[in-house]
Amino acid sequence: MAFRIGMLLFPDIMQLDMTGPHEVFTKFPDTEVLLISKTLDPVVAGGGMRILPDVTYGDCPQLDLVCVPGGGGMNALLTDEETLDFLRGQAQGARYVTSVCTGSLVLGAAGLLKGRRAACHWMSREMLSAFGAIPDPARVVMDGNVISGGGVTAGIDFALTVAGELFGAEVAKSIQLGIEYNPQPPFEAGSPETAGAEIEAIARSAASARQSERAAAVRAATETV
């Protein structure tokens, strides 16, 4: 039987959180990858890309790996009981429970990260503590059957890590080579530590409204527990 991976879709998703790992997952041997949403209507990602789900929550079979990407739209999921119940149910039978970027906050809101180390986008990482998780700055974090990737592009590292876990290093390396994943960024600005205080301040300022909304959503989610 094929290994079955399900990736959550929602409005205003950060599409690279999903499409980066998806590109890797679809190259796994004997693996089915499903995109899951509340309905089969197209999902509009942040930036306007329209993505078509494969199955709804109600029609989704038991997954071997469930993955929650991040993005601005995940704020609303923190108090969305339909989504949280779906994740709790899938987590009971899944071999791996996973996330990319701020998707780990959704796993936290579902009660799936208590006492677990988890990664998140650097700007929201400390919010994991509100759900009893242990924020970890690593690009990919494994704690038992929970595997989480840091912000956005870390999703590719995360998926290759999963490939190595499931199929061994040789398969993972061949996938990496096939997609020519050989990052050589033109600037050393991929983390606050390398970007410096001035660039960090600019990034934080640009995201201030979203982060305020996220902090409020986290408070609302913890108040309902």
Kindly give the confidence (pLDDT) of every residue in the chain, 225 residues in length, as a single tens digit, with 9 standing for 90 and above.
Answer: 899 999 999 999 999 999 999 999 999 999 999 999 999 999 999 999 999 999 999 999 999 999 999 999 999 999 999 999 999 999 999 999 999 999 999 999 999 999 999 999 999 999 999 999 999 999 999 999 999 999 999 999 999 999 999 999 999 999 999 999 999 999 999 999 999 999 999 999 999 999 999 999 999 999 865
Residue 1: its pLDDT value, please?
85
123 and 171 Cβ atoms separated by less than 8 Å: no
Burial class (CB in 10 A: 0-12, 13-18, 19+), 167: middle
By three-state DSSP, how is residue 135 classified? strand
CA 176 vs. chain centroid, Å, equals 19
Q: How many residues does the chain have?
A: 225
E strand or H helix at 100: strand 96-100
Q: For residue 71, what are its two tokens?
A: 């993005």
E strand or H helix at 18: helix 15-25
pTM (two decimals): 0.97
Residue 64: its pLDDT value, please?
98
The total of structural domains in the chain comes to 1
Q: What is the CATH number of the domain that holds 118?
A: 3.40.50.880
CA distance 207 to 220: 20
- Tell me which residues are annotated as active site: 101
Beta-sheet strands, E only, within 89-179: 96-100, 117-118, 134-135, 140-143, 146-149
141 and 116 Cβ atoms separated by less than 8 Å: no
Give strand pairing partners of 149. Answer: 100, 140
* Structural domain harbouring 139: 3-223
Give strand pairing partners of 77. Answer: none
